[in-house]
Amino acid sequence: MTAVTTHNGDWSEVVSKLVEDKIASRIAAKDATIWGPDAEPEASIRLGWVDLHETSRPLLVEIEALQAALRAEGVTRVVLSGMGGSSLAPEVITRTAGVDLVVLDSTDPSVVARALAGDLSKTVVVVSSKSGGTVETDSHRRTFVKAFTEAGIDAASRIVVVTDPGSPFEKLSADEGYRKTFLADPNVGGRYSALTAFGLVPSGLAGADIADLLDQAAEAAPALQADSTDNPALWLGAVLAASEGRDKAIITADGSDIVGFPDWAEQLIAESTGKQGTGVLPVAVELGAPELTSEAADLTNALLAGKPTSGVPTALTSGSLGGQFLLWEVATVVAGYLLGIDPFDQPDVESAKQATRGLLDAQPEPEAAAFTDGAVEVRGSEGLLDGVDSLQGAVDALLGQLDEVGYVAVMAYLDSERDADLIGIRPAIAGQTGRPVTFGWGPRFLHSTGQYHKGGHPEGVFLQITAAHPADVEIPDRPFTFGTLISAQAAGDANVLADRNRPVLRLHLTDPASGVQQLLSLFTK
């Protein structure tokens, strides 16, 4: 299978070929041969998402019953421990619904401490993991069990598990007597799991109308399964993947009632397509972002009308949330078909996990800083900082590695609430360089754009930001703390990128508050 591109910005020919090849109806029929023989084994066990609007219905009664029982006990605060699709979809669902959900998808000690500081007497923790072996969620689970116990609360009665049938986590949940175990469809990968138990359980317990969400997807399904030139998923897939010389998609939720959707779409597209040296880099941007040119706006309007004809791959989320989930999932696997890759595997995600495990086992001393400038210790990949002795010089050296088709990835292993102002450097760098800039909170992005960073087009430059932890949090029965864990995750990720000859500038804030302000002053002056 070869990649298909358009030379003139008119995707109608590509869409017509997709219709001729019956790609939409074959996806609906769960035809695992679409993406070629190498992808067939994985695709054959990853297409359960296409009809979740039907197969997930039995979950609704179970979720409603558990929510009613918990509320009768005065348990109204829901904490979700999950990574990647296990947290991003519920976050979008609950934020859009306007209901409270504490999303814990970080190993930063201050984030964990804040989740623990809530009223435990009113708290239930949903731990979502396909296997149970994910280091982040396992560490969260251990920590909450200890906290509940110390507060005189029966921990088992406050832990709800979402996992795959037959997983080690299912057995652990039974052995520990946890409150409830929900089993998700095992034939759905994490980033396609919005309408499985992984998306529905925490969202429903928090109070979102998940039945309506399934109804929305069911309403959208016929149009997305049709072999028709009016199928919006075929157009979106073509825009994403069949644009010669363009491998980045700018995504904004401006004008939409859906809150936080670009972050979910970013994970879906990056992890599905960023491999084998190709893919589409999604860039989630804010209102007024430098990337949102008039050309991009023209394409946005055309795409929403159904038939884009010119411009760059840019999309604006609109319509019902359930429908959007299914639209972008179908479009993403269509993009995979056009790119000639398997949209269901993630071969490079494991590399950072292995590097982290190695560092946790070895517990090495931190690499010495090349130099310190104010509250910032500066380190860099081999050769990057030769002759450099200032923070400004280090940034200039990194951005000097950026070419006319490249991008900048800002990777912030910090507290997304405490250090939220740091997001301001994203548009600032984009404005200075004229290139797309992504911003990811670590370790969350490792389950999202982290795959593209390592497996996609080798044209990125990487700015990693870490910080000291004035107050650390212990992990029960583990020889490392959350501070040690997040430091190992950052170092492991940087090492893997450097091993693949990606330029990496590592900035460590010895004092988070003053360090963030120093960086803001540097980039936004």
Contact in structure between 431 and 329 (CB atoms under 8 Å): no
Cα-flanking dihedrals φ and ψ of residue 213, to 5°?
Answer: -60, -45
Q: Which of 47, 14, 56 minimizes the C-alpha distance to 322?
A: 56
Sign of CA dihedral 487, 490, 493, 499: negative
pLDDT digits (tens, 9 = 90+) for 312-354: 445 555 679 999 999 999 999 999 999 999 999 988 777 777 8
Three-state secondary structure readout of 315-364: EECCCCHHHHHHHHHHHHHHHHHHHCCCCCCCCCHHHHHHHHHHHHHHCC
- Cα 294 to the center of its chain, rounded Å: 28
Q: Given pLDDT bands bounded at 50, 70 and 90, which one contains residue 169?
A: very high
**What residue ranges in 205-280 does DSSP mark as E strands?**
248-252
pLDDT at residue 130 tops 70? yes
Contact in structure between 341 and 273 (CB atoms under 8 Å): yes
Contact in structure between 292 and 465 (CB atoms under 8 Å): no
Q: How many CB atoms lie within 10 A of CB 388?
A: 19
Cα-flanking dihedrals φ and ψ of residue 202, to 5°?
Answer: -65, -35
Bigger pLDDT: 97 or 312?
Answer: 97
Instruction: Give the CB-side neighbour count of residue 141, counting CA atoms within 13 A.
Output: 23
Q: How many CB atoms lie within 10 A of CB 65?
A: 11
Domain ranges of the chain: 12-45+227-339, 56-213, 349-523
Q: Is 123 helix (H, G, I), strand (E, B) or coil?
A: strand
pLDDT given at position 307? 46
Compute the C-alpha angle 97/263/14, nearest 5°: 110
Distance CA 109, CA 117 (A): 12
Q: Tell me the average pLDDT across 184-191.
A: 96
Give domain 56-213's CATH architecture.
Answer: 3-Layer(aba) Sandwich (3.40)
Distance CA 16, CA 12 (A): 6
Q: Which residue type does 47 have? A: L
Distance CA 380, CA 507 (A): 8
78 contact partners, CB below 8 Å, separation of at least 6: 100, 101, 102, 123, 124, 126, 202, 205, 206
Q: Which residue type does 300 have? A: T
Contact in structure between 261 and 315 (CB atoms under 8 Å): no
504 contact partners, CB below 8 Å, separation of at least 6: 380, 381, 384, 462, 464, 494, 497, 498
Q: Is 127 helix (H, G, I), strand (E, B) or coil?
A: strand
- b/e code 263-276 from CB counts within 10 Å (16+ = b): bbbbbbbbbbbbbe
Residue recorded with tokens 């170092």: 491
- b/e code 480-500 from CB counts within 10 Å (16+ = b): bbbbbbbbbbbbbbbbbbbee
Q: Given pLDDT bands bounded at 50, 70 and 90, which one contains residue 294?
A: low
Q: Which fold does the domain 349-523 belong to in CATH?
A: Rossmann fold (3.40.50)
Q: Tell me the average pLDDT across 124-144.
A: 95
Sign of CA dihedral 508, 510, 512, 514: negative
pLDDT given at position 257? 84
pLDDT at residue 297 tops 70? no
Q: Which of 8-17, 34-43, 105-114, 155-164 has the lowest mean pLDDT?
A: 8-17
Instruction: Give the CB-side neighbour count of residue 155, counting CA atoms within 13 A.
Output: 15
Q: Matching CATH topology for 56-213 and 349-523?
A: yes
Diameter of the chain by CA atoms?
67
- b/e code 339-349 from CB counts within 10 Å (16+ = b): bbbbbbbbebb
Bigger pLDDT: 177 or 310?
Answer: 177
H or E element that contains 62? helix 57-72
Instruction: Give the CB-side neighbour count of residue 518, counting CA atoms within 13 A.
Output: 21
Tokens of 188: 């759905």
pLDDT given at position 7? 35
Distance CA 296, CA 314 (A): 6
Compute the C-alpha angle 266/271/277, nearest 5°: 115
Distance CA 284, CA 250 (A): 6
- Cα 481 to the center of its chain, rounded Å: 24
Q: Tell me the average pLDDT across 65-70.
A: 98
Report the length, in residues, of the chain: 525
Distance CA 329, CA 477 (A): 39
pLDDT given at position 175? 98
Q: Is 494 helix (H, G, I), strand (E, B) or coil?
A: helix
Q: How many CB atoms lie within 10 A of CB 323?
A: 22
Q: Given pLDDT bands bounded at 50, 70 and 90, which one contains residue 299?
A: low
Q: Which of 268, 264, 267 minimizes the C-alpha distance to 253?
A: 264
pLDDT digits (tens, 9 = 90+) for 200-214: 999 999 999 999 999
pLDDT mean across residues, the chain: 91
Q: Which residue type does 43 have? A: A
